[in-house]
Amino acid sequence: MEPYLCITQLNDFTFCPRSIYFANIHKQNYSPETYHSTAQKVGLAAHKSVDEGEYSSRKNILQGITVYSEKYRLLGRIDLFDISSGELCERKYSVSAVYDGFRYQLYAQYFALTEMGYQVSSMKIYSKKDNRSYPVSVPVTEEIFEFEELLDKIRAFSLDDEFCQNEKKCLKCIYSPLCDYFE
């Protein structure tokens, strides 16, 4: 049986397939304060009220709860889900574009909530910095196929696989000192 993947790993893998490996090295050996970048610390602070269940006192808002998908073997936490409207929201500190990794995180949360019996009718990415929302369509056939392909790639990934470096991403990567592709 396949092990569960963390929902956040979908975004990480999309950013760089090697990052999941290096993140695990850091988590096992170091305190987060020693390797989190300033941007990550700001992001964690932006999530604090949701993670601690203090964002809203409304009973119809699920916040920071653990969700899972048995079908896709995924586990993670949602930011906000409005049971009344069916709106799922992934909060980020600053969003300049809806990257594939963001969409995949929402898809995973969507599938988990749906399996758990909730009705998700709409999804969005929220940018706290500029108070903007970016709608993301509920996945249909093509997006579901793309999502399933990503899960297969993550589960089959090896550091020995051929790797195409993206220098712009490498410059922003907190794991670049560990990576043999970074110069």
The pLDDT score that the predictor gives to residue 27 is: 59
149 three-state secondary structure = helix
Cα dihedral 76, 31, 157, 79 in deg (nearest 10) = 20
Domains of the chain, earliest start first: 5-178 (3.90.320.10)
pTM above 0.85, yes or no: no
What are the DSSP calls for 2-47, one per residue?
Answer: PPPEETHHHHHHHH-TTHHHHHHHHHHHS-HHHH--HHHHHHHHHH
> What pLDDT shows up at residue 120?
98
Token pair 């073997």 in the structure block, residue: 73
Name the stretches of the chain with pLDDT < 50.
35-36, 40-41, 43-44, 47
**Cβ neighbours of 98 (radius 10 Å):** 17
pLDDT at residue number 140: 96
